[in-house]
Amino acid sequence: MQIFLAALIAGGIPLLFLFVIYALDLYASRTFRLVLACFAWGAVGGVGLAYLFNTRVAVPFIQRYHLDMLWLFVVFAPVAEELFKSLSLFPVSRHRDFTYFVDGAIYGFAAGIGFSITENFLYISETPSSAILLALIRAFSTCLMHGSAAALVGVAVGRFRFRRGVHRGLAVAGGWGAAILLHAFFNAIGQANLVGPGLVTPLSVAIGLLGVGLIAFFINRGLHEEGKWMLETLDRQVAVSGAEARAAQSFATLEELLEPLAATFPEKAEQIEALVLHQAKFGIKRKIFQQLEAPEAKERLQQELDAMQAEMETLRRQIGSYAMIYVRSVFPEGRVNVWSNLELVVRQDQPADVARWSALLTAKDAAGPAQPTRSIFGRLGEIQQEKHQGNATGQ
């Protein structure tokens, strides 16, 4: 029973922190499948490779040259573990669902948490008499350190995902260097007698919690940048007012805004939410596309944008015109114009199918050039409001 409870603590608390970090991504650009893949790699591949390195390379090297075992904890283990547990970030960063360093932080944190949970199980199985206490201490210290260190690598990978040459290499090396230093300092507190025995556990927990706070700070900063990018892209590239473009940033209250739709079309609410989030990511990636210089990177990102357009068109067909009309007539214009406004961004490239769909959503001025003027759904809202007023006055 003690081992069972310790195992629940050793796995449950780190998973809870992973869920908190996972939920911080407002624009939901990360996917659960990739998070699970990074977690699994850290738990199996990262632990396995680190164990082989430490037992087959590090320990024999230390013994051969008669070094202190402290070298294992503050040099070899931090280097090997941070390198191996973060390897999954590189193939994941090439996936088109990987948008910005916010995703890198989440995927890296998942890999580190997976690594730490496996390590927890190994430690508590070796000390069953004090398994619960050990699991509690490690859950709030070592586990969070592992997650935060790997997340630093993910931030570096995501920040410079589309860069080429020396800048990208230096950035990734800097992320790994920061992760290794954090890991080495954490281990040194407990192994090198840097502080008194009574301060080891409090300091270890403090480092773990501060690491999570740092990753949360990076994620919030990244979300702020993404929101600014979306707003800037919409304002600069299309004729959309600032108030309308800011509506695209209202995903924090998206579920609340979709409540009327969910009550009437419960089977469509999830699809419309997915469409909104796809369009938000599309706007963010267009901003990244503008900043790229390398032709190969631009070509690869353009392929991602084309694929996203096809997915959005599929979602529109699944939603259906009737549900979309209902959505736009229910939500007051100026409050939730996410769909009509972001469609103008998609329409920038003018593929035939997107142009036809966009034409249904935007009225054209017959006396002048084809410019976005008023949403036909905004007019439906006015008609509905006039109808309600007429009923109220007995007309």
Locate 162 and state its tokens. Answer: 């589309």
- Res. 388: pLDDT tops 60: no
- pTM (global) more than 0.85: no
Q: Please compute the mean of the pLDDT values over residues 41-52 and round it to a whole number.
A: 97
User: How many CB atoms are located within 10 Å of the residue 88 CB?
Assistant: 25
pLDDT, tens digit, for every residue of 224-263?
A: 776 666 555 544 443 333 433 444 444 445 556 566 666 7
Locate 295 and state its tokens. Answer: 């032709």
Percent of the chain whose predicted confidence (pLDDT) is above 90: 41
The domain spans of the chain are 2-223, 238-393
Plot region of 195 (φ>0 → left; ψ -120 to 50 → alpha; else → beta): beta
Q: How far is it, in rounded angstroms, from Cα 182 to Cα 212?
A: 12
Tell me if 178 sits within 8 A of 78, measured CB to CB: no
Report the b/e string of 103-142 with b at 16+ CB within 10 A: bbbbbbbbbbbbbbbbbbbebbeeeeeebbebbbbbbbbb
At residue 88, φ and ψ (nearest 5 deg) are -65, -20
- Residue 152: band (very low, low, confident or very high) from pLDDT cuts 50, 70, 90: very high
Residue by residue, DSSP assigns 96-132 as TT--SHHHHHHHHHHHHHHHHHHHHHHHHHH-GGGHH
Q: What is the DSSP letter of 195?
A: S
Which range is least confidently modeled, 95-109, 174-188, 282-296? 282-296
pLDDT of residue 144: 97
- Res. 137: pLDDT tops 50: yes
pLDDT of residue 162: 64
Distances 359 to 123, 284, 315, 347 between C-alpha atoms, Å? 62, 23, 17, 9
Tell me if 361 sits within 8 A of 372, measured CB to CB: no
User: Closest Cα partner for 38 from 120, 100, 95?
Assistant: 95
What's the one-letter identity of residue 294?
A
Max distance between CA atoms of the chain, in angstroms, equals 97
pLDDT of residue 362: 37
Q: How far is it, in rounded angstroms, from Cα 357 to Cα 347?
A: 9
Q: What angle do CA 6, 10, 16 make, to 5 degrees?
A: 130
SS (H, E, C) 64-95: HCCCCCHHHHHHHHHHHHHHHHCCCHHHHHCC
Tell me if 13 sits within 8 A of 140, measured CB to CB: yes
Q: How far is it, in rounded angstroms, from Cα 11 to Cα 15?
A: 6
Q: How far is it, in rounded angstroms, from Cα 378 to Cα 286?
A: 27
- Res. 193: pLDDT tops 60: yes
pLDDT of residue 209: 96
Count the alpha carbons within 13 Å of 248 in the hemisphere toward its beta carbon.
Answer: 32
pLDDT, tens digit, for every residue of 11-39?
A: 999 999 999 998 886 555 568 889 999 99
pLDDT of residue 208: 96
User: Helix 321-330 crosses helix 376-393 at what angle (to 10 degrees)?
Assistant: 60
Q: How far is it, in rounded angstroms, from Cα 52 to Cα 42?
A: 14
pLDDT of residue 153: 96
User: Closest Cα partner for 85 from 60, 64, 54, 57?
Assistant: 54
Tell me if 130 sits within 8 A of 56, measured CB to CB: no
How many helices (H) and strands (E) in the chain?
A: 21, 0
